[in-house]
């Protein structure tokens, strides 16, 4: 059974600081996703990482993937209040039927950035 673990689950930090969210998964996978969710809202796609060593950056967020360690990180640089949200990583499980993969999600990291 594929398991995805995120840590920390809760993070309170000050504006201007840097921090990293970690995502470990238990079996091989070929896709790693990061999503953002604001309270009462749906999921917004941030990054899709497809290969070992992949690194993607958007603004103050940078995601990386190490498939050998089964680890992805989401790094926040010089945090601002607007980045306060819950961040989920998700791993795609390959379907032998060839269909789109059901995603297995981590429990999410609730991030609060204080002025």
The site for another protein (CB under 8 A) is made up of 31, 33, 35, 41-45, 48, 50, 88, 90, 95, 97-108
Q: Which is nearer to another protein, 80 or 93 (CB)?
A: 93
Residue 96: CB atoms within 10 A of its CB come to 5
Are the C-beta atoms of residues 28 and 2 closer than 8 Å to each other? no
The residue among 25 and 33 lying less far from another protein, judged by its C-beta, is 33
DSSP 59: T
CB of 9 to another protein, least distance (A): 10
Closer by beta carbon to another protein, 50 or else 69: 50
């Amino acid at each position: 059974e594929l398991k995805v673990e995120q840590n920390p689950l809760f993070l309170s930090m000050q504006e201007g600081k840097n921090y990293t969210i970690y995502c470990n998964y238990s079996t091989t996978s070929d896709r790693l996703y990061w999503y953002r969710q604001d309270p009462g809202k749906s999921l917004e796609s941030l990054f899709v990482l497809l290969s070992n060593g992949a690194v993607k950056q958007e603004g103050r967020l940078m995601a990386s993937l190490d498939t050998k360690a089964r680890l992805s990180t989401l790094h926040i640089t010089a945090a601002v209040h607007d980045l306060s949200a819950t961040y989920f990583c998700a791993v795609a499980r390959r379907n032998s039927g060839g269909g789109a993969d059901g995603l297995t999600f981590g429990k999410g990291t609730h991030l609060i950035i204080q002025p």
